[in-house]
Amino acid sequence: MITNSKLLIDRDCPLCKMYGNLFQRTGLIDQDVLTTYQEINPEYTKGIDMNRAKSEIALVDLKNNRIEYGVDSFAKILFHKYGLLLKLIKVQPFRFLSHLIYLFISLNRHIIVRPSKFCSTPICAPPLNRGYRSAYSIITALLTGLILSTYFGQVMSAFSISYSPYIEYLICFGQIAWQGAFIGVTNGKKFWDYLGHMSTVSLIGAFLLLPPLIISNLLNLSPLYLIGAFTLVVLIMIQEHLLRSRRLGLGTGTTVSWIAYRLFILFSLFIQFIYL
């Protein structure tokens, strides 16, 4: 167990609080180790790069006056009982890959798990990194396209309708372009934040479709079951999109545009299938 230390987490980040509490419950850190960036006693901040700590969580060893960030902090907490693993994680290319994954999650943490509230000037929010945010949108679009192509491939095959799996990938990336253009015109300052949250909503919807898809395959259910499940998931996505948009101060316009795009795609596919 890590003791006599301070682990800085973001008070306004649900993801940070989730893994911080998990460390406590599993006995990896002492109850007094976890503290928030916003409330830490100034006497513990000496020597801490507080700007870096916004992106890479800081673990302060009070006894040895040593500070570790990001991957090194996590590695020490998770593997402090296993010296060999702790050394292995610091060896290239493991160190490089783990650092890359860590930053990918950390720099996008405020758009992966919806915060309970959004602040106009959050003091602990990681700085925007357009590269990692773009990578997040691309990866979520690819994952969403993969799940949707499998889902609707099964629906279409049940009705003996020819359906290219690449259609879903085009729809997912088309959504980014459509909504990106909309938010760029209406509120360019929120472009990157909105793009990230919209990508998360799409990914949530895709993951919610996995259980119905698995159940349908196991029980050999009618494709109407998949269509009904998809309708329910869409309603959940609309609610989540509305909530995130409102908390970003964007109102309902972005959700209307988001729905309009989906209806346009649905109408286009319907017309295509009629004339095939």
Give φ, ψ of 61 to 5 degrees.
Answer: -85, 105
Alpha-carbon distances of 266 from 168, 241, 255, 269, 271, rounded to whole Å: 12, 19, 16, 5, 9
Q: Where are the domains of the chain?
A: 5-112, 130-275
The pLDDT of residue 119 is 54
How many helices (H) does the chain have, and how many strands (E)? 11, 4
The pLDDT of residue 256 is 96
The pLDDT of residue 273 is 66
pLDDT, tens digit only, all 276 positions of the chain: 888 888 998 888 888 888 888 998 988 888 889 988 888 888 778 888 888 988 999 999 888 889 999 998 988 888 877 766 667 777 888 888 999 999 999 999 989 987 666 554 456 778 899 999 999 999 999 999 999 999 999 998 888 888 888 999 999 999 999 999 999 999 999 999 999 999 999 999 999 999 999 999 999 898 999 999 999 999 999 999 999 998 888 989 999 999 999 999 888 877 766 665
pTM: 0.89
Contact 73, 53 (CB under 8 A): no
The pLDDT of residue 187 is 93
Give φ, ψ of 239 to 5 degrees.
Answer: -60, -45
Q: Where are the beta strands (DSSP E) in 37-138?
A: 58-61, 66-69
Extract the tokens encoding 189.
């300052």
Give 33: exposed, middle or buried? Use CB within 10 Å, 0-12, 13-18, 19+. Answer: buried
Nearest to 13 by CA among 133, 99, 118: 118
Segment holding 35, helix H or strand E: strand 34-36
Query: Rounded to whole angstroms, how far apart are CA atoms 19 and 33?
Result: 13
Largest distance between two CA atoms of the chain: 74
